[in-house]
Structure 1
Amino acid sequence: MRFALGIEYDGSQYCGWQRQNNVVSVQETLEKALSKIANEPINVICAGRTDTGVSATNQVVHFDTHNVRKEVAWTLGVNTHLPKDIAVTWVKAVDETFHARFGATSRRYRYIIYNNPLRPAIFSTGLTFNHYPLDEKLMHKAAQFLVGEHDFTSFRTVHCQAPSAVRTIEHCQVSRQGNYLCIDVKGNAFLHHMIRNIAGSLMRVGRGQEEVEWIAEVLAAKNRCLAGVTAPANGLYFVDVTYPEKYQLPSSPLGPIFFN
């Protein structure tokens, strides 16, 4: 049987999603918990691999198993074997055509910034802190240059191994709730550090260091050296992934916490 799982995790204590030697990853931790319930080795495939320190509110994975278990075993049962910063949020049996990664039609991330002269204490590991005043309206205006199909070479790390830098962004919105800014980006796929590099560049615009049109110039230049610095990993969340309606997967609030 094949199952799809909804997963959320606080990535601050993990070296990213992907299983690696000699470090703790979200994937390895989840697979160990699933294997205990299945009583056989379980390998999972995720919708979008996240980097060190990056969190998720709606990660989707799939796995295959030969053993029959009640759905509650894959949720409550697995959660008893997981640390408190990783949790299964839903499970659904799917047919063999479902693939968490290759079947996804879009992915969505949110980058959360605490914008205040003084640092926060509560939720401090789940956001990035910027003490300079940021104009979210200018940031939103600049972000619209990124919408559509573009070559995002200027916004990917030099170590990115993707054969093409062309991606399609459906929306890139910047909003504020009190001291919290949210950069909300949805697209078909993303390059290594792409969201964090976009966030770092938009913060330059919000701070008044660059004009709104600067984002368009950086995008057209296809030169990583011209964009802003890479924003910290804490504050970045994988919040949603879209699949064809025929799978009828459960939906959950995007988060994190107070963002609708």
Structure 2
Amino acid sequence: MTLFDRFDEKTPLNGRLAMGVEYDGTHYCGFQRLSHAASVQASLEKALTQVAGEPVTVHASGRTDSGVHATRQVVHFDSPMPRSEKAWIFGANTNLPKDIAVRWVKAVPDTFHSRLGALARRYRYLLINQLNRPVLERANVTWCRDPLDVAAMHRAAQALVGEHDFSSFRAAGCRSKAPWRHLHFIEVSRHGALVVVDVQGNAFLHHMIRNIVGALVSVGRGAQDEAYIKRLLALRDRKKGDVTAPACGLHFVDSRYDESFALPQEPLGPNLLAFTGEWTGERDIPDSPMVRQRRGHAQKDHEPIKQENA
């Protein structure tokens, strides 16, 4: 995939389809449909239903919190009617609000599942570190007016890499059955006033990244030493944890699958970080039983997917 690929308007796509979706989450309760507030899922299903002329239900690679953004949310749905690539993308975008857009669509085998087949998920948290409040970036970053020691934040964060019990970093209302997650990497870097926390893992607990960022900012401000993150992790107690960073700085930027599905590759978002030049799929995924199981499933047809915590 390049930035200027033309969409096919002749070949009908039906059966199971994967789709890449981008959204500004400012005015939504998150991706998942809820009865009491606007959701990305409800808007997307409504738009796709208008294109198909039949009801469409989508399944996403992961939930996002209220106010969180996404540049590569991967969803799948079973198409009730054949439509061309161009018709799906242009038709959906015509019927979507301006803060949600479909980036691509691709036919995939029936074995593909956007959530249960994901090998890794990646987020980037953006902080603008300057004395005066931001204006143009205000909906996409979190403002921190205290000088941050980014090198100390990066060193402290390395205690989180690997498989751990992340109870100290999960929301009180988290519904996951187990607090264990495998963090593939976490990097903290500075680009002028912009401070980026870039993190990838097999999955994340409710508020996990925002709670990690809140604790890292305490380290960066000098309120806590570099061993603080390691101590919090060992406590396994959210009540001993730090503040939760605001949702507006968090961006869901990638969801990874077995290469056999050949999903489109594209620049990692958000566009504030386009200068890094990194595209999806360029980082290795550490080996684990879950990764081996899901890669093996991708090579087989019509085999039920094991219901693991995703």
TM bin, normalised by shorter chain, reads: over 0.9
What pairs with 1:30-109 in structure 2 (closer than 5 Å)? 30-109=44-123
Deviations 1:55-114 (A, max 9, x none): 001100000022111111111111000111100001100110000000000000010001
Please tell me the residue identity of whatever aligns with 2:104: W
The one-letter amino acid paired with 1:51 is D
Q: Distance in 2 between matches of 1:65 and 1:250?
A: 19
Correspondent of 1:243 among 230, 252, 257? 257
Q: 1:1-260 residue pairs with structure 2 within 5 A? A: 1-259=15-273, 260=276
Q: 1:110-161: per-residue Cα shift (whole Å, max 9, x none)?
A: 1000100110111201111110111110000000000000000000011001
- Secondary structure of 1:69's match? strand
**TM superposition score normalised by structure 1:** 0.99
Q: Is the partner of 1:145 in helix, strand or coil?
A: helix
Moved over 6 A (4+): none
| Count of aligned positions | 260
Identity of aligned residues (%): 53
Amino acid at match of 1:200: G
Structure 2 runs not aligned, ≥5 long: 1-14, 277-310
Aligned to 2:4: none
**Structure 2: which amino acid aligns with 1:76?**
F
Distance 2:107 2:136 in 1: 38
1:220-240 per-position Cα deviation (integer Å, ceiling 9, x unaligned): 010112221000000100000
SS at match of 2:19: strand
State TM-score, norm by structure 2: 0.83
SS of the equivalent of 2:147 reads: coil
Counterpart of 1:43, as a letter, is T
